[in-house]
Amino acid sequence: MKYKSSTNSYNLEETEDKCKVSENNLIDQYDEETVLLQIPQDDTKVEDVMRKFKNQNKVEDTIVVLQEKKKVITGVMNDQSYIRKLSSTPWKKDPDVNRSRLNTWRCGMCGKRFKITI
């Protein structure tokens, strides 16, 4: 009886509500267009994109498909994975862009160049 009175039911309910709210903010769709909308055209940490989705395994599979279709590009710098969305028609925006330049990225913060995998 003594221990039962020390536990208030409203404390437990508040904790459950907070957990539900954070889950509702996560995206639960894994089609290519939904995932592609979450990837900016600037270099972004892969983990930042992955955190937006409930099931990280499903979003990772979708990113692999997007990479195979040449819609996104990924790279590693200083043991950190980065991703960015590719323009659908880069040659129309900048006629000097050629395929070989897509293999090298430059860090926006330090200016260091690094290789990526397509």
| Integer Cα distance of 103 and 118 in angstroms | 7
> What does the pLDDT look like over 14-32, one tens digit per residue?
444 444 434 557 999 999 9
pLDDT of residue 117: 56
Amino acid residing at 74? T
- Protein fold of 29-117: Arc Repressor Mutant, subunit A (1.10.10)
The dihedral of CA 44, 62, 80, 99: what is its sign? negative
Map out the domains of the chain as residue ranges. Answer: 29-117
Lowest mean pLDDT among 2-11, 20-29, 33-42, 75-84: 2-11
At 65, phi and psi to the nearest 5? -65, -45
pTM, rounded to two decimals: 0.55
> What does the pLDDT look like over 55-112, one tens digit per residue?
999 999 999 999 999 999 998 888 899 999 997 655 454 544 445 445 676 777 777 7
Going by DSSP bridges, is the β-strand pair 80-85/44-45 parallel, antiparallel, or unpaired?
antiparallel
| Integer Cα distance of 51 and 1 in angstroms | 43
**pLDDT greater than 70 at residue 10:** no
pLDDT of residue 17: 46
